[in-house]
Chains A and B, each alone.
Chain A
């Protein structure tokens, strides 16, 4: 029944490691997003994909690479993790001109 799911829910890793977060939606939406929410709860868009094509890249470092194998999935791979990458990452999906549905979030802690 879960509309937008993310795995893992928690991720603790050391600086310099590479990690991936997976996102899946079963709503039939054609657009998916990645957001980063910092410790002050500020939510900022990172990427937006429409029909597997990248349409928004908000000056995110090259260490972050999204991959959309199909319309229902948008994964986020992060290379060479840094302390500043610690945050909660949210995946979302929508149809154009409608509201976005958010996943439960992945809390990433880099030590």
Chain B
């Protein structure tokens, strides 16, 4: 089974609303990362949260990590049309750091203008 699974698979909200995506994983991790992928493009790194951190902010993004529940959430506040994309969580379980990211199945976010 996949290491990371995002929930929901697809999400449509009105512009200006907040969007929350969740990620669950199965084994212990060094860190968890969130990436965005616009249609037809490569992935763009959004935020990295280490296993000893519980919450992290970057602009309109807020990520939480609960290692006891093996889950993470990504909150995008005051959504904009440009936020329309697929969002992936990725877990790093490698011994040496970041050589082996395991990506989740992704959440397709659509912001309705």
- Residues of A bordering B, CB below 8 Å: 4, 31, 33, 40-45, 48, 50, 55-56, 58, 90, 92, 94, 96-105
Interface of chain B residues 1 through 47 with chain A (CB within 8 A): 2, 33, 35, 37, 40-45
A-B contact count (CB 8 A): 61
B56 within 8 A of A: no
Q: Considering the chains assembled together, what is the distance between the CA atoms of A90 and B88 in angstroms? A: 15
Contact in complex: B98, A42 (CB < 8 Å): no
Contact in complex: A94, B44 (CB < 8 Å): no
* Chain B residue total in the interface (Cβ 8 A): 23
Chain A residues positioned under 8 Å from B2 (CB to CB):
42
- Residues of B bordering A, CB below 8 Å: 2, 33, 35, 37, 40-45, 48, 86, 88, 96-103, 105-106
Q: Pick from B96, B97, B100: contact of A45, CB below 8 A.
A: B100
